[in-house]
Structure 1
């Protein structure tokens, strides 16, 4: 019973671990230092899940989008755009809070004790827009405009920024393949430096990559206000106590903007509301159904 209670209390962590294991379950990749190239790689998974990770059984939406945009044959993919729109329309940034492997990494890093945590970095109100710049410039514009003689481009976000690719793909593959280690250069050192900065910041600040750099989070955030799964405030019972904001790891004024584009839908605000003024659309529908029954 105690184990069941702990699992219920940490249900989001359990879901994160299970989904990460599910989407990175190719064990032979880790044993042999190879990449899974089966049928699953034709399909995107919701989170930032590096294609080059030895265990990845699906494709990353951002990596797939860049692969199409920098192709000399194709410049648009109805599948990838449709996938992002469908997932965003249903869940918004719920994916960030519950299903993203690199989100799990940042969550675990932030749990490291003995370090003084800070809620926000200076300039947070402006830095949060940086992820939209990354999405537009590094994911879309550069792959389309900077091309080689054959008409092909480069996946600039994956190449220069993505810490998930470095941690889950680059580092494991170089450890497992001596031939790859011999070819490492400045670019790999730069990516490792970016990863180290994100790791250090994640220990002190909750999810710095999600806040400031993630283009996938930027894409999903556009759907937060209109997604099928969203939060609602009962203004008649809300006292404005700000308990929801105090509980929010992103330090968002949930009672004012329950569907902020920065919200990753972790659900901590829902548990903090003593008056039950804050509900999700799913919990409201379940409550209404219970009354009808």
Structure 2
């Protein structure tokens, strides 16, 4: 769908619009927009990034809770959770399919010609333990002597951070190269593994390891925007499954936790009107086959008139 590609491209440039980074002292934008979290996964430390990463911001917030409690400060920043909650309540996991730069990157890599494979469904549950352990529990409970935690997911897992921040930093700041050690090697190896996986399977990081996607997915069944399935119209041709980048079988669960609401099943898949969507209870039932019939009727000359 052309519209989605345009929106994805615009989102990449809006969240990475600071192209003066080669001439800045730190190499990283630190202006007022960095206080705003992007809706998708985009590393704070990317030299061109103009917004913050919601997962990084959430970890930073949790990593200071123990210190604040020890200092008698009971005011905690809930802005990130509120922001993600508002997005999730409105559209569920839709940002993954429309505005996430790393999700868009995975789709482009997957276009490399190769034999394609699926991902075992059991692996798609891993993102929830990753969210719970690396984003919430470890930053909150594993702290230093001062009470500060670490951003465990960013530091030890996130391939988006390695691609957008780690590798560019090594290229732009030569003083960092002698400090390369096992951690950087581990992150690069993890990135390479995901890159290869992206070629053969669609969106593997989104489906298996992304904590942001895991968080948004919790809202899929209750968000204002929802997908709908008409059992009577469905012929089980599985065309929706064939075009789905997340491997969702729509007829099993129209609002599956892995559905990123990219609408490919709606625009490119179903030809029988079995798939639709609704916003706050108002259904959208104009399917592609219906549009084609309407266009043909409008294009045809009226009865009794010559062409």
- TM-score, normalised to structure 1, is 0.89
Long gaps (5+) in structure 1: 1-8, 288-293
**Alignment match, 2:68:** 73
Assess if the C-alpha contact under 8 Å between 1:119 and 1:249 holds in 2.
no
Separation (CA, whole Å) in 1 of partners of 2:252 and 2:129: 26
**Alignment match, 2:266:** 270
State how many pairs are aligned.
275
**Alignment match, 1:279:** 276
SS of the residue 2:212 aligns to: helix
Aligned-residue offset at 1:64: 0.2
Aligned-residue offset at 1:219: 0.1
Aligned-residue offset at 1:253: 1.3
**Alignment match, 2:46:** 53
**Alignment match, 1:290:** none
User: Residue 188 in 1 paired to residue 187 in 2?
Assistant: no
Q: Which of the residues 18, 21, 24 maps onto 1:26?
A: 18
Aligned-residue offset at 1:286: 8.0
User: Residue 96 in 1 paired to residue 96 in 2?
Assistant: yes
Aligned-residue offset at 1:268: 1.4
SS of the residue 1:56 aligns to: coil
Long gaps (5+) in structure 2: 287-307
Aligned-residue offset at 1:31: 4.9
Question: What value does the CA root-mean-square deviation take over the aligned residues?
Answer: 1.7
User: Residue 221 in 1 paired to residue 217 in 2?
Assistant: yes
Q: Deviations over 1:179-198 (max 9, x none)?
A: 11122111111100110000
**Alignment match, 1:117:** 116
Q: Which of the residues 5, 12, 24 maps onto 1:13?
A: 5
Q: Which moved more, 1:148-157 or 1:247-256?
A: 247-256
Separation (CA, whole Å) in 1 of partners of 2:153 and 2:40: 15
Q: CA 1:166 to 1:92, structure 2 compared with 1: closer, same or farther past 3 Å?
A: same
Q: CA 1:172 to 1:154, structure 2 compared with 1: closer, same or farther past 3 Å?
A: same
